[in-house]
């Protein structure tokens, strides 16, 4: 809880207390982890971000890291067959926070990967994959993975892209 | 996948007319571009100016096409929108491709 309380008649001076109290949900959808439902979910989310006045660069950062994280859920957590995913995007003072929940297999090592970029040395070494986690790590300022009662919970903070 | 081709001098230009190259279409993209590249012309310039979203699956598909074409027909890229350019930059794949700011024949390229 916030120590400071604001009375009903007090002027609203800052970004508002909603964000700080975590009641600033921008988008939520429960869907199945197929490529087409993931795509439809991201497109619906982008519409919500646009309607909320989120800038193009911030929105595209969110879309990219969510695409990577949701592709990982489909490919790894649900490699035996598609399953339910719950996506939540909320706005906070220091960025957008995205939480993905699924009931698939846990991360193999129990922690979210933080790999180096694959070796790029053309013409012999031209990787076609292995970029996803690198992209996620590049664009997030905070990332938490937890396994709780058979669910994977991945929470990521995407900082605002620029203050000019 | 909606793709069209044209010639620009010796080059074959393959234009992607869809806005997304993601996991849902990566395999289709690879196959469609491979078929389009059966037409003559070198280098092969991939016009991505209408693509506003590309993830690492899409990036992998672009790299796969480059490998399929081989050294004799270099794959070059043109017209990367800011979100697409970012993916190439973050993965350092921008160092692998020749990247043109605009597709051949566009007003910007001519000016």
**CB < 8 Å to A121, chain B:** none
Instruction: Give percent of chain B above pLDDT 90.
Output: 94
Distance from CA of B63 to the nearest CA of A (A): 6
Select the residue of B60, B66, B86 nearest A129 (Cβ to Cβ).
B60
Q: Give the C-alpha separation, B68 to B47, whole Å.
A: 18
What chain B holds in terms of domains, given with CATH numbers, is: 3-101 (3.30.750.24)
Residue with tokens 């590309």: B54
E-assigned strand segments in A5-116: 25-32, 84-92, 95-102
Taking an 8 Å cut-off on Cβ atoms, the answer to whether A63 and B83 are in contact is: yes
* pLDDT average, residue stretch B84-97: 97
Give the pLDDT of residue A125. Answer: 87
pLDDT band at residue B92 under the 50/70/90 scheme: very high
Q: Tens digit of pLDDT for each residue in B56-69?
A: 999 999 999 999 99
Contact between residue A84 and residue A102 where contact means Cβ atoms under 8 Å apart: yes
Taking an 8 Å cut-off on Cβ atoms, the answer to whether B60 and A64 are in contact is: no
Chain B contact probe: residue of A67, A79, A120, A132 with most B CBs at under 10 A: A67
| HSE toward the beta carbon, residue A153, CA cutoff 13 A | 9
ipTM rounded to 2 decimals: 0.94
- Where is pLDDT greater, at A72 or A11? A72
Sign of CA dihedral B32, B34, B35, B36: positive
Q: Does A45 have pLDDT greater than 60?
A: yes
Burial of A19 (C-beta count, 10 Å sphere; 0-12/13-18/19+): middle
**CB < 8 Å to B22, chain A:** 35, 39, 67
- Give A85's strand partners: A31, A102
**CB < 8 Å to B86, chain A:** 60, 64
The reply to whether A44 touches chain B by the CB within 8 Å rule is no
Q: Give the C-alpha separation, B102 to A115, whole Å.
A: 33
Give the pLDDT of residue A23. Answer: 59
Task: Please give the interface size between A and B, counted as residue pairs whose CB atoms are below 8 Å apart.
Answer: 70
Strand B11-16 and strand A151-158: the pairing is unpaired
Give the pLDDT of residue A62. Answer: 98
Q: Give the C-alpha separation, A62 to A91, whole Å.
A: 11
What pTM, to 2 d.p., does this model score?
Answer: 0.89
* pLDDT average, residue stretch B28-49: 98
């Amino acid at each position: 809880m916030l120590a400071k309380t604001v009375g009903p008649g007090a002027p609203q001076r800052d970004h508002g207390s909603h964000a700080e109290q975590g009641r600033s949900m921008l988008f939520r959808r429960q869907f199945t982890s197929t490529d087409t439902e993931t795509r439809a979910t991201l497109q619906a989310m982008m519409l919500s971000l646009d309607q909320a006045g989120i800038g193009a660069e911030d929105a595209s950062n969110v879309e990219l890291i969510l695409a990577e994280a949701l592709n990982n859920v489909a490919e790894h957590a649900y490699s035996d067959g598609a399953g339910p995913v719950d996506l939540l995007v909320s706005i906070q003072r220091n960025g957008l926070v995205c939480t993905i929940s699924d009931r698939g297999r846990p991360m193999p090592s129990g922690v979210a990967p933080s790999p180096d970029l694959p070796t790029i040395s053309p013409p012999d070494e031209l990787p076609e994959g292995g970029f996803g986690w690198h992209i996620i790590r590049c664009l997030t300022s905070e990332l938490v993975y937890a396994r709780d009662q058979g669910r994977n919970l991945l929470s990521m903070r995407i900082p605002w892209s620029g203050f000019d | 996948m909606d793709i069209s081709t044209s010639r620009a001098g010796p080059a074959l230009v393959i234009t992607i007319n869809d806005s997304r190259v993601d996991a849902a279409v990566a395999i289709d993209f690879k196959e469609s571009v491979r078929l389009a590249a059966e037409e003559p012309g070198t280098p092969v310039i991939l016009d991505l100016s209408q693509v506003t979203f590309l993830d690492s699956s899409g990036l992998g598909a672009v790299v796969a096409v480059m490998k399929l074409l081989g050294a004799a027909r270099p794959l070059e890229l043109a017209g990367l929108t800011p979100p697409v350019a970012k993916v190439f930059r973050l993965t350092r794949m921008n160092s692998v491709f020749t990247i043109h700011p605009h597709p051949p024949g566009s007003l910007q390229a001519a000016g």
